[in-house]
Amino acid sequence: MKPAHPHRFGQVALLGRPNVGKSTLLNSLVGSPLSIVSPKPQTTRHRILGIVTLDGAQIAFLDTPGLHLGGKRAINRQLNRVARQVPDEADVLVHVVAAPRWTDEDEEVWQLVSRHRAPRLLAINKIDRFPDKSALLPFVAGITATRDYAGVHYLRANRGDGNEALLRDIVAHLPEGGPRYEDDELTDRSERFLAAEMIREQLMLRLDAELPYATSVEIERFEQEGGLARIAAAIWVEREGQKGIVVGNGGERLKAIGSAARRRMESLFGTRVFLELWVKVRENWSDDEAALRQFGYGD
Ligand code: GDP
Ligand code: MG
């Protein structure tokens, strides 16, 4: 006899312009800080998979770089390429927007999601930014009057508010299928990859203006010995003059970046971490396709 509710499995893309809270949402759904978050746009540079296993369903969420207009460098084109490819892999599309704004970039994301056949849900995040909640309904009505979403959700991703209803709605739209990952698997990304991301997160948080966008991280060594991970990483910058800023007075900033990243890794990996960092120069890497491939931004 077939069970009353067949198991469901699907991939779900989180799409939106930069900085609306896609990565915060992924982390709060998965319950683990897999995808790095900062107040600066274009923090996410990769497609990050996060797995949620429920009773009777498994969802593989795909976090994406924010779709953006205007960036002219090779890295900007690469980020948009990743964002535009992910919907092809997805069974459900979640368009994340940040209340109370709908911008040209949000419209661009709508254009992308509306071209796909997969059901699309609208997730209005940062509803705490609406001091007057009665203004929320006209905001949403303005969006949905001419755009066709299968459902609308109200979220406060940094607190997990609204997640349960969103998950229920997603599951209702998933195809039947067995689980593709183990119950306790959270991502398909390696610890080596996540380590580089934890370092990049600190660069996003601790550097100002254009400098975070001039940095990239490459893991040069990753060795596990019992309960200790020995990690050596290069922080790439684009010009000699940027090196000193990352290192800071007497090496203070680099030390702070290293120890914060190390603490994040220790908590995520559940091991002790010994981390060594070097700052290196690769002229103009962010506009250089070969350097992007070397640094792991390939498709
Ligand atoms: P992404 O670029 O879309 O992945 O956005 P992030 O997840 O990196 O978040 C961008 C910023 O928005 C971060 O500073 C988050 O802490 C913040 N943020 C995320 N969700 C919320 C929310 O519900 N309310 C508020 N006020 N801020 C949020
Ligand atoms: Mg992100």
Please indicate whether residue 95, judged by its CB atom, sits closer than 6 Å to ligand 1: no
Ligand 1 in reach of 157 Cβ (< 6 A) = yes
User: pLDDT tens digits for 64-116?
Assistant: 999 999 999 999 999 999 999 999 999 999 999 998 899 999 999 999 999 99
If you measure from the C-alpha of residue 24 to the centroid of ligand 2, how many angstroms do you get, rounded to a whole number? 7
Give the angle 137-143-145 at the CA atoms, nearest 5°: 90
Rounded to whole angstroms, the Cα distance separating 210 from 99 reads: 26
End-to-end CA distance of the chain: 43
57 dihedral zone (left: phi>0; alpha: psi -120 to 50; beta): beta
| Residues 119/39, Cβ–Cβ less than 8 Å | no
Q: Are 123 and 45 in contact (CB under 8 A)?
A: no
Residue with the smallest CA separation from ligand 1 atom 25 is: 126
How far does the centroid of ligand 1 lie from the alpha carbon of residue 27, in Å? 11
Determine which residue's CA is closest to atom 11 belonging to ligand 1.
39
Q: What ligand is nearest to the CA atom of residue 22?
A: 1
How are beta strands 57-63 and 48-54 bridged, if at all? antiparallel
Integer CA distances (angstroms), 225 to 143, 222, 273, in order: 54, 10, 10
Residue 3 predicted with pLDDT over 90 = no
Task: List the residue whose alpha carbon is closest to atom 18 of ligand 1.
Answer: 21
Q: Is 68 helix (H, G, I), strand (E, B) or coil?
A: coil
Instruction: Give the C-alpha separation, 143 to 140, whole Å.
Output: 5
151 vs 173: CA distance, rounded Å: 10
From the number of C-beta atoms within 10 Å of its C-beta (0-12, 13-18, 19+), residue 7 rates as middle
**CA-based R_g, the chain, Å:** 20
What spacing in Å lies between the alpha carbon of 282 and ligand 2's midpoint?
25
| Closest-lying ligand 1 atom to the alpha carbon of residue 41 | 2
Percent of the chain predicted with pLDDT > 70: 99
Scored b (16 or more CB within 10 A) or e, 191-204 reads: bebbbbbbbbbbbb
Q: How far is CA 76 from the centre of its chain?
A: 15
Tell me which of 24, 63, 86, 203 to substitute to probe ligand 1's pocket, judged by most ligand atoms within 8 Å of the beta carbon.
24
Note the ligand closest to the C-alpha atom of 33.
Answer: 1
- Contact 298 CB / ligand 1 (< 6 Å): no
Q: pLDDT tens for residues 113-147?
A: 999 999 999 999 999 998 888 889 999 999 999 99
153 within 8 A of 168, measured Cβ to Cβ = no
Query: 66: Cβ below 6 Å to ligand 1?
Result: yes
- Which pLDDT tens digit goes with each residue over 202-235? 999 999 999 999 999 999 999 999 999 999 999 9
How far, in Å, is the centroid of ligand 2 from the Cα of 2? 40
pLDDT in tens, 108-120: 999 999 999 999 9
Q: Is 43 in the pocket of ligand 1 (CB under 6 A)?
A: yes
Long-range Cβ contacts of 24-30 (<8 Å, 24+ apart): 24/125, 24/157, 24/158, 25/96, 25/123, 25/125, 25/155, 25/157, 26/50, 26/61, 26/63, 28/157, 28/158, 28/159, 28/160, 28/163, 29/61, 29/163, 29/166, 29/167, 30/61, 30/186, 30/187
Cβ–ligand 1 contact at 32 (below 6 Å)? no
> In terms of Cα–Cα distance, which of 69, 68, 147 is closest to 110?
147
How far is residue 54's CA from residue 172's CA, in Å, rounded to a whole number?
A: 13
Pocket of ligand 1 contains residue 48 by CB under 6 Å: no
- Nearest ligand to residue 16 Cα: 1
Give all domains of the chain, ordered by start, each with its CATH number: 8-173 (3.40.50.300), 191-294 (3.30.300.20)
- Ion ligand 2 contact residues with beta carbon within 5 A: 22-23, 44
Does residue 262 surpass a pLDDT of 70? yes
